[in-house]
Each structure stands twice: as C-alpha cells, then as structure tokens.
Amino acid sequence: MTVLLPFVINAGLNFVLGLLIALFLGPAEFGRYAIGAAIIVLVNTALLDWLKISALRFYSLTTRETQPEIRATLDLLVAGISVSLCGLLVVAVAVGIDFKLPAMLLAAAVLAGIGAGLFDYHGAIARARFLDAAYARLIIVKNIMALILMVGGAWLTRDPTVVLLGGLLSAAVSLLAVRRALADAPLSLSAARKDVAWGFFVYALPLVAGNAIYSLIPLLNRSLLADAQGYAEAGYFSLASDMGLRLFGTLGATLEIVLLREIIRLDETRGRIAAQKRIAKNVLLVLMVALPVAVGLWMVLPAFDRLIVPPSFQGRFANYMAILIPGFAAITIFQAAFYPVFLIGKRTGIATFAALLGLGVNLALGLGLASTLGPAAYAFGQTAAFLVVLAVMATASLRVLPVLPPLRDCVLVVLAAAVMAAVIWPLRRQFSAPIELALQISIGVAVYGALILACDVARCRTTARLWWASRRIGRS
C-alpha cells in the first residue's frame, strides 16, 4: 500500500530530526524547545484535532458527492479557528501576558501548533478519500523540509524559537504541495451548516478532551521538571520522551491507518457487528507488532545510547527511556487496537474519564515521589498514567466487542517476546555498539519471527503457505 511508505520514511526522519536538534541545541536549549514542542501538540489537539477526527469519520468519497456541506463546514471551521487563534495570540503578546516563557518562543509554538493542525486535517482528508499518493507527498515533503529547516536552524542559531518556526514553514510547504489534489471547491460560507458543525463537535468533543489531556501530561512533566531541576534536566527527559512518542506514535498511526479503513468499510457495508469482530482480530495484530518493538527497544538501549544519542545526553537518555517504554507501548496498543471501538460506536465519553484518571495518576506519582526518586518520578508518573488509560479503555472495549481477541495467540505473542528478550539479553554491553546493535536486532527478529511462524499465530504460517502455493501455480 502506498500509504505505508510515508510512515516508514516518517519514522526514520523523525528519529534523525529529534536527535540532530538535541545535538545542536544541547540539553538546556533542547529543554526549552521541548516545552515549545509540547505546546504545539496541545494547541493542535485541543483546538483542531476534533476536525481531523470528524473528517475521518464523516467525510468520504461518497459524502463528497452526496453531502458537500460536510467538507464546506469542515473547511470553514478550520479557517475560522486558525484565524481566531492568531488574533488571540496577537492580543496576548500586545498586552504582555506573562506565560513564564519568552514571548517569541510562545508565539512560534502556537503558530506551529496551528500549522500542525492544518497538516493533520489535510492528511485526514487525503486518507478519507483514499488519495494515497497525495498523502505520501504531504508526509514526505513535510519531513524533508523539517529536516532541512529545523536542523539547519538549530545548527546555525542554537535558538529553539528558530527551530519551532522551521517546523511551521515545513508544514506550510507540504500543504502547498497537495493543495490542488485535496481541494473540493472554493471555501463557501453559504454551503456550511451550523447543525453539521454541532454534530462534529458533539461527536468529537470527548475524544478531543481525552487527547488534550494526554498531550497535557508531557507538557506538565517537562514544565515541572524544568522548575525543579532546571532546563537541562528537562532536556534529558524530553529527548527520551520525544523519541518514544515519535516512534510509538508513528507505529500506532501506521497500524491505525492500515486497520481502520477496513473497519469503517465493514461498518458501512456489512454492519456494526462485522466491524467489531474485525476489531477483535486486530487487537492480536497490534500486539504482534507493538510488544516486540517495545521489548526489543528496551533490550538494545545500551547500544542505542552509545551509538546514536548525542554525547551530552548519553546515560540520562537510556535511564529515562527504560522507564518510559511501557507507557509508550500502551499508547500504541490503545490507539491502534481499542480506539476504533469508540470511533465507530460514537461512545467517546469514556475517553475523557480515562484521560482524567491518567492525569491524576501522573500528578500524584510525579509530585508525590519526587522527593524520594528525584527526576525519575516524572517518568514513572507518565508511564503509570498511560498504563492506566490503556487498562480502562481495554476493559471498556472488550465489554462491547461481540467476540474476544484469540487468547491462545495473544499468550503466544507474549511468550515469543519473552523468549526473544532472553536470547538477546546476554549480548548487552558485550561488543562495540554497532556490532552489538546489529546482532541484537538480527537475532531478535529471527527468534521472534520463527516462533510466531512455528506457532502459526494469527494463521501467519498458513497464510504464507497459501501465498507461496498461489505464486507457484501462477508461474506454472
């Protein structure tokens, strides 16, 4: 599928992007940049994400022709919110409101948040219309421009504000690259409808509220850590947090894109029960991908830290990442496996409850354990928060689904990941970093893949045998 290519490129470039920015900015300035980056996520999520969610659920090739008011309403809302937010930003800066951050850094973060929201919205439009080539162009152009502008800005100026503005420009260039491909018609005030806009708001508000709280957790942790330990310590924590969120967020989004389109198609053509049964099967597929990635990353952390992480962050990065990995895996599993239950069922209120509970756990552990665990308390708090969210959402989802994920196969996935970890554990800190990392990845993939095939998890071996047989018949 063409839609998978940009995500493979996106994951690789995001890793390189974050590491290079950290390298050139250093811990203290990267800490300031990381707070700005968290503001970007919060602005995007709280104010514009509900339109992306609505586009994915209500806009399609069919509604494009039969209900043009949907796209018109979406476009008008996007434009109105963006302009209004820019106006509020100008007023806030003009009157001198103190946000405990430099005014230019705050302004750059808010503007970049608007750009990120516009980028995500147009990505949702492309996905809803199955415009895989346009979607790929949007992702690839944005990432290449971000690599040039953001890393270049960090190298030339060592200024986090310039780096944030580079992210804004990269989003703008990518949107220009797909403007014609994604356009339906010129923006029309008369075509938009208030009742349609209200329907979007009612549907998406609980999910957006939950997502906004999730994005608030990293921002709070970075800000509290910066106040307590300084921007350098916040920078150490933020690099591990950013790398994990990028990797597992991209992984979850990739799985979601691949799996969600079939769920929505089943819901429209064969009904809700068929779509829910597919979701139950997809839980296993998500576990098959997310669990070995999480376990594998934890196993290779020493070599990864020595080989790839900037020298000024080494050691601190691995310590934080080891604590944060379970929470990152929880995000991926929730996003790709259980999120579709509430998306198609329009029962999104539970998401807000789970997010509030997670926020409370994060603050309780972070602030409560800071005196005994030090800076690590905030990492434990964040991980516990995301694990609690996964537990709540998984429990609620499994009670709704007409069938459960195959228990035998889920247990086998856990066992296969455990065996993989046991095999590559003795390799830690035994060789030079490049050799150690290469050996761990190759042996780990081989062991895990062999066990999954041997046990025929998710009928992988059967499917592979049938595929091979069909190819042989086609050649004869």
Q: What is the CA radius of gyration of the chain?
A: 23
Instruction: Name, in order, each residue with C-beta under 8 angstroms of 45's C-beta and a sequence gap of 6 or more.
Output: 208, 211, 212, 214, 215
Burial class (CB in 10 A: 0-12, 13-18, 19+), 205: middle
Tokens for 218, please give them: 């990293």
Residue 418: count other Cβ atoms within 10 Å of its Cβ.
13
- What does the alpha-carbon distance between residue 145 and residue 363 come to, in Å, rounded to a whole number? 37
Asked whether the beta carbons of 415 and 448 are under 8 A apart, the reply is no
- What does the alpha-carbon distance between residue 190 and residue 459 come to, in Å, rounded to a whole number? 53
pLDDT in tens, 162-193: 999 999 999 999 999 988 888 876 766 677 78
Half-sphere exposure of 96 (CA within 13 A, CB side): 0
| 437 pLDDT more than 90 | yes
- What does the alpha-carbon distance between residue 13 and residue 19 come to, in Å, rounded to a whole number? 10
- Which DSSP letter does residue 310 get? -
- Which DSSP letter does residue 23 get? H
Q: Quick one: pLDDT band at residue 38, thresholds 50, 70, 90?
A: confident
pLDDT attached to residue 8: 62
Asked whether the beta carbons of 167 and 149 are under 8 A apart, the reply is yes
Mean pLDDT over 414-438 rounds to 93
- What does the alpha-carbon distance between residue 17 and residue 161 come to, in Å, rounded to a whole number? 16
Of 251-260, 281-290, 386-395, the range with the lowest mean pLDDT is 251-260
pLDDT attached to residue 49: 86
More confident residue, 462 or 411: 411
Q: End-to-end CA distance of the chain, in Å?
A: 27
Q: Quick one: pLDDT band at residue 473, thresholds 50, 70, 90?
A: low
Q: Quick one: pLDDT band at residue 11, thresholds 50, 70, 90?
A: low
pTM of the complete model? 0.83
pLDDT attached to residue 210: 79
Instruction: Name, in order, each residue with C-beta under 8 angstroms of 395's C-beta and a sequence gap of 6 or more.
Output: none
Average pLDDT of the chain? 86
3 state SS of 315: coil
pLDDT attached to residue 414: 95
| 256 pLDDT more than 90 | no
Closest CA to 18 of 234, 211, 244: 244
* In the chain, where the domains are located: 1-192, 203-407
Of 21-25, 132-136, 424-428, the range with the lowest mean pLDDT is 132-136
pLDDT attached to residue 5: 62
Q: Quick one: pLDDT band at residue 3, thresholds 50, 70, 90?
A: low
pLDDT in tens, 78-114: 889 899 988 888 888 777 776 677 888 889 999 999 9
pLDDT attached to residue 348: 62
